[in-house]
A and B are shown apart, each in its own frame.
Chain A
Amino acid sequence: QQQVKQSPQSLIVQKGGIPIINCAYENTAFDYFPWYQQFPGKGPALLIAIRPDVSEKKEGRFTISFNKSAKQFSLHIMDSQPGDSATYFCAAKRSGAGSYQLTFGKGTKLSVIP
């Protein structure tokens, strides 16, 4: 019930390509879905987040697509650049006072080749 399954584990794309990272969750109580980006030697940094009242959210070149009925969400990176090479984590949690637990996927290591 608490798992978030993330795929693929690693991904290599050419510059300008559109990598897609997928996540699936089981707990229907989850209502906040952030994506974090982590560069080597750094902590995870919030990239973009979505709530289930919308099916898509875009911020710059990053887009989250959300499918509530399938309990799946995905990250798309448009016009990917070598600087996007990092590890990406999806996560999920319940909103509300006292809900601190953020459940993470295992991460996807993205390499963007020039």
Chain B
Amino acid sequence: ETGVTQTPRHLVMGMTNKKSLKCEQHLGHNAMYWYKQSAKKPLELMFVYSLEERVENNSVPSRFSPECPNSSHLFLHLHTLQPEDSALYLCASSQASDTQYFGPGTRLTVL
């Protein structure tokens, strides 16, 4: 595997479910990001981790909970989501605050 990988690629969940999105980067970077991409809106930065420490949290609802166990892995834990949370969730990585490289995303549908 090369670059940034994300699993699963597609996820359908009910509002009462708990699920997790996984991201792994194979680039040797030390910063990782979660973005939300909705139709006709700019990409929204959700969280940034640098050296496994959260450095940005852009007013994201608590039903989204990130976890960064090491510099290569990033998780987004989801619980009691709303239908408006349906979107493409993108993971990215970078070396420090340099160029960001994105994964393919997880298409999330909340019923």
Contacts and interface: CB of A to CB of B under 8 A. Distances in A.
Interface in B1-42: 4, 31, 33, 40-42
A44 B104 CA distance: 8
Nearest to A42: B104
A89 B92 CA distance: 15
A46 interface: yes
Contact of A100 (B4, B43, B50, B102): B50
Interface residues of B, number: 24
A100 B48 contact: yes
Nearest to B92: A43
A101 interface: yes
Interface in A66-111: 89, 93, 95-107
B104 to A, nearest CB: 5
A34 interface: yes
A94 to B, nearest CB: 9
Contacts of B55: 98, 100
Given A98-B55, A100-B48, A100-B55, A49 B99 contact: yes
Contact of B42 (A41, A45, A100, A104): A104
A4 B90 CA distance: 20
6 contacts: A42-B105, A44-B90, A89-B42, A100-B31, A104-B43, A106-B40
Given A49-B99, A93-B97, A100-B55, 7 more contacts: A43-B104, A95-B97, A99-B97, A100-B31, A100-B56, A100-B94, A106-B40
